[in-house]
Amino acid sequence: MKKVAFYTLGCKLNFSETSSIGRMFEEQGYAKVDFTDRPDIFIINTCSVTDNADKKCRKIVREAKAISPESYIAIIGCYAQLKPTEISEIEGVDAVLGASEKFHLLELLDDFKKGTTKVLASDIKEANTFNAAYSINDRTRTFLKVQDGCDYLCTFCTIPLARGNSRSDTIEHIVAEAIKIGNTGIKEVVLTGVNTGDFGIQNGTRKERFIDLIKALDNVEEINRFRISSIEPNLLTDEIIEFVASSKRFAPHFHIPLQSGSDEMLKQMKRRYLSDLYTNKVAKIRNLMPYASIGVDVIIGFPGETDEMFKTTYQYLTDLNISYLHVFTYSERPNTPAASMADVVPMDVRNQRSKQLRNLSEKKKRKFYAENINREATVLFENDVENGFMQGFTENYIRVISPLDERKINKLATIKMNKLNFEGLMEVEELVEMSR
């Protein structure tokens, strides 16, 4: 029995796809093993959102060859679609598969016989089929893919070049998958996609809506809790916010990309909103769900970002009632309009600005956590054990810590949030353990 190991770089969507491809291997009689267990085959699923992701891919290839020198290494994912020839020249790589090919690698790679490096990457226009995917057994939560690709043309982003146009699964199939996942004992499902709120396009035509998807999933009794992984502010309608506020199963947790608090920067980025719209979305959430978690993506150092524009973003985020930030330091990506824009921000300035925003994020997170002290919540304890303690997340995405009790892992418990420890984690008192 040949052994295969997987390594995933990047987003939740990549994790869902890696897990599904892994199950395909197991169904064909391969043994799925840890990366360090001298596998015969390595499958590396790549990301290419930042330059660092490309470098990380090269590093993982070197590590794989050190672990198992005679192994077969196949590279899939966004980087593989964008730079197939470049990857094929990395020492140790045996195959590169693009967006249209990665779900067919078992048929395409001829029993993984080593020889001339294979490059199988069609034009991205060929990536027009939706391949369903979900992660399972890798984490306590499951990442369920509902949408793929993107029709937006943000000037900094390579994703449309790496994943193609927007396309989606059907509500009927997603509900069936959620029921199947719930019957395995999974308690929480995270809905994921490239542009999740754009759900509903099938064969190039919009046939369903994201609001109808979440309404249907709210009736899936086999799952206790759903999360929306990320949603564009222009697609986060009042109807969606109002539904989540009154739903049975959707967590009060929103991750909403902003990218800049400067309207001039948003226009340069070709985002589909300005800061006023974003402000109104946050206000709507806070009005209906005062303790909801609101996460924000921000890109720092985009071409043309002056000191004054950065100060505008910093002040905007300081005043905004949010819970945490994901800060990305802008890096030039080939074949994007931003890569050739003038007024490039020096890297040391980018790094210094990013550090300021990461410090702000920590302050925002601690403030949000502190506001929840003495509140009751429901926590899902995960298999994340360290120094005799286990951790988990509340419905509003507060990470809590509790003394290890293995019987409670993957269990939902009602708790009271007591205090923050020195690491900024919430210490809790368990009140009620749920039966399921």
Q: Give residues with Cβ within 8 angstroms of 133, minimum separation 6.
A: 13, 16, 17, 19, 20, 21, 145
Residue 429 has pLDDT above 60, yes or no: yes
Mean pLDDT of 414-427: 90
Indicate the average pLDDT of the chain: 94
pLDDT in tens, 185-212: 999 999 999 999 999 999 999 999 999 9
Q: Does domain 3-126 bear CATH number 3.40.50.2300?
A: yes
pLDDT in tens, 278-294: 999 999 999 999 999 99
Residue 54 has pLDDT above 80, yes or no: no
**What is the pLDDT confidence band of residue 325, given thresholds at 50, 70 and 90?**
very high
Sketch the domain layout of the chain as residue ranges. Answer: 3-126, 142-365, 376-433
Phi and psi at 294, nearest 5°, equal -125, 115
The whole-number pLDDT of residue 55 equals 81
Mean pLDDT of 334-362: 96
The whole-number pLDDT of residue 173 equals 98
The more confidently predicted of residues 352 and 410 is: 352
Give the CATH fold of the 142-365 domain. pyruvate-formate lyase- activating enzyme (3.80.30)
The more confidently predicted of residues 49 and 41 is: 41
**What is the pLDDT confidence band of residue 433, given thresholds at 50, 70 and 90?**
low
Mean pLDDT of 115-123: 93
Say whether 142-365 and 3-126 share the same fold: no
**What is the pLDDT confidence band of residue 138, given thresholds at 50, 70 and 90?**
low
The whole-number pLDDT of residue 405 equals 87
The more confidently predicted of residues 407 and 139 is: 407
pLDDT in tens, 220-239: 999 999 999 999 999 999 99
Give the CATH fold of the 376-433 domain. OB fold (Dihydrolipoamide Acetyltransferase, E2P) (2.40.50)
**Distance (Å, whole) CA 60 – CA 44:** 8
**What is the pLDDT confidence band of residue 110, given thresholds at 50, 70 and 90?**
confident
pLDDT in tens, 60-85: 999 999 999 999 999 999 999 999 99
The whole-number pLDDT of residue 338 equals 97
Residue 1 has pLDDT above 90, yes or no: no
